[in-house]
Homo-oligomer: A and B are copies of this chain.
Amino acid sequence: MTDVTRSRTTSIGHSTVDSIEVCGYDLTGELMGEVDFAAVFFLLVSGRIPGKGEVRLFNAILVALADHGLTPSALAARLTYTGAPEAVQGAVAAGLLGGGSVFLGVFEDAGRMLRAQSPTEDSDLDVLADRIVADHRGHRLPGLGHPTHVNGDPRTARLVQIAEEEGLLGPHTRLMLRVQARSGKPLPLNAGGASGALLCDLGIDSTALRGIALVARSAGLVGHLVEESRAPLGRWLWDTAERETTYTPPD
């Protein structure tokens, strides 16, 4: 009974004939023109407006994740646009659908790994880090390693620097850095792992972590599609795939 009642409540938004409310704020009077889009996105996933330092850090995370060049996601979006230029929503959706375990799983995996240790300001982070490293013996440690940035992901250093400047380098991120240092491997902490840890410190729900990366990425995808409409790569990719592969009937 209680459950039914709960399941029919929403805190996201509501309109009347002359007003719109988003998460308890008056959209036109308190949000538009007053706070930026990242702050409203933070509000939508956490129920509160972030502080000034939090907004700067959250923006930096979104900016860090917005684009990665001609990734499989960007290519899928461009190829979809080739067939359906009138339905841009389909091309953006196709690009987001590649945001699964391989590229975006790291946020959630890192977040869950860190939250499982419940690190606080008073934790002995070396002990927790050693426990994590031991638990992952023989398995990949989420958040470590990058195919291109083998000597260190430049976004990680910058994110940590901004978090320090804003006094937001919390126990999850410090634990993540400790895990990297004590992993016994030369793998750098990547931007996904750093972002996942920082979002935990910001109090963001684990369910939201992948979604935050998706919103950031959607901006990059729209950029690729605007470019595709002017300087298309889709048909060249199609031709290349057909020309450079060999058809062999099944055995």
Binding site for B on A (CB under 8 A): 4, 6-24, 27-29, 31-33, 35-38, 40-41, 44-45, 47-48, 55-56, 59-60, 62-64, 66-76, 79-80, 82-94, 96-104, 148-152, 154-155, 157-159, 161-162, 165, 205, 207-208, 210-212, 214-216, 218-227, 229, 231-238, 240-242, 244-251
Given A72-B80, A97-B94, A149:B8 Cβ within 8 A: no
Query: Is the CB–CB distance between A231 and B17 below 8 Å?
Result: no
- What residues of chain B lie closer than 8 Å to A102, measured between beta carbons? 82-85
How far in angstroms is the closest Cβ of chain B from A25? Answer: 8
Closest chain B residue to A89, Cβ basis? B99
Number of copies: 4
Q: How far is the CA of A219 from the CA of B8 in the complex (A)?
A: 21
Q: How far is the CA of A222 from the CA of B204 in the complex (A)?
A: 12
Q: How far is the CA of A98 from the CA of B83 in the complex (A)?
A: 5
How far in angstroms is the closest Cβ of chain B from A16? Answer: 8
Query: Is the CB–CB distance between B89 and A248 below 8 Å?
Result: no
Extra contacts, 19 of them, besides A27-B154, A37-B37 (Cβ < 8 A), are A7-B233, A17-B148, A29-B158, A36-B63, A37-B63, A41-B222, A72-B82, A73-B83, A75-B238, A82-B102, A83-B101, A87-B90, A89-B100, A89-B104, A90-B90, A93-B96, A96-B96, A207-B225, A240-B240
Listed by A's residue number, 17 A-B pairs whose Cβ atoms lie within 8 Å are A11-B227, A12-B224, A13-B69, A18-B152, A21-B247, A21-B249, A27-B154, A32-B159, A33-B165, A36-B55, A72-B82, A83-B98, A83-B103, A87-B89, A88-B211, A207-B225, A237-B237
Closest chain B residue to A32, Cβ basis? B60
Query: Is the CB–CB distance between B241 and A75 below 8 Å?
Result: yes
Query: Is the CB–CB distance between B226 and A218 below 8 Å?
Result: no
Contact of A238 among B24, B72, B165 (CB under 8 A): B72
Q: How far is the CA of A35 from the CA of B64 in the complex (A)?
A: 11
Query: Is the CB–CB distance between A100 and B72 below 8 Å?
Result: no
Contact of A76 among B20, B80, B244 (CB under 8 A): B80
Query: Is the CB–CB distance between A148 and B15 below 8 Å?
Result: yes
Query: Is the CB–CB distance between B12 and A227 below 8 Å?
Result: yes
Q: How far is the CA of A212 from the CA of B31 in the complex (A)?
A: 18
- What residues of chain B lie closer than 8 Å to A6, measured between beta carbons? 231
